[in-house]
Amino acid sequence: MNHSQLQLSELLKEGVCVPKSDKRIEEKKTKTIELLKYANLVLAPLYLVDKQIGLVAALTFNAFFINYLHDLGKRRRSGANTLNKINTFFSSQGNENSLEVHNALRNIINGGAAIHDEISEMLQNAGVEKSRIPY
């Protein structure tokens, strides 16, 4: 995993900006981390070709992939994003507790969980045993 991936992974593992009490969020967080791990595992052979090529490919892929997860999560959480926009508009400018980071992480988590669920469902429909699907 590269540096940006590790930072996001650490934020997700620590539960920064994500309430600990919600079990669904914890499950989605785990699914998103696993999805990012497997995606970076596919890129690992590029490091054997050249370190710089592998690093550039991993950073570029993660930037685009996390952006895609954010956009997908934003589409799936339209109500929560609208409330966040309203809250941001009416909040004071001096407020240090910005909900923008929280909202962005929730979008990434929901987008990753949605892709993980779709891949899991596709594998189950193809006849792969549930015990062999990594959760």
Question: What tens digit of pLDDT does each residue of 29-88 get?
Answer: 999 999 999 999 999 999 999 999 999 999 999 999 999 998 998 888 877 767 776 666
Domain boundaries, the chain: 3-132
Q: In whole angstroms, how far apart are CA 45 and each of 32, 50, 51, 112, 113?
A: 22, 9, 10, 23, 26
Share of the chain above pLDDT 90, in %: 43
Does the pTM exceed 0.85?
A: no
Interatomic CA distance for residues 40 and 133, integer angstroms: 18
Interatomic CA distance for residues 46 and 125, integer angstroms: 31
Q: Could you give phi then psi for residue 126, rounded to 5 degrees?
A: -85, -5
Among 33-47, 84-98, 102-116, which is the least confidently predicted range? 84-98
| Angle (deg, nearest 10), helices 51-76 and 78-90 | 90
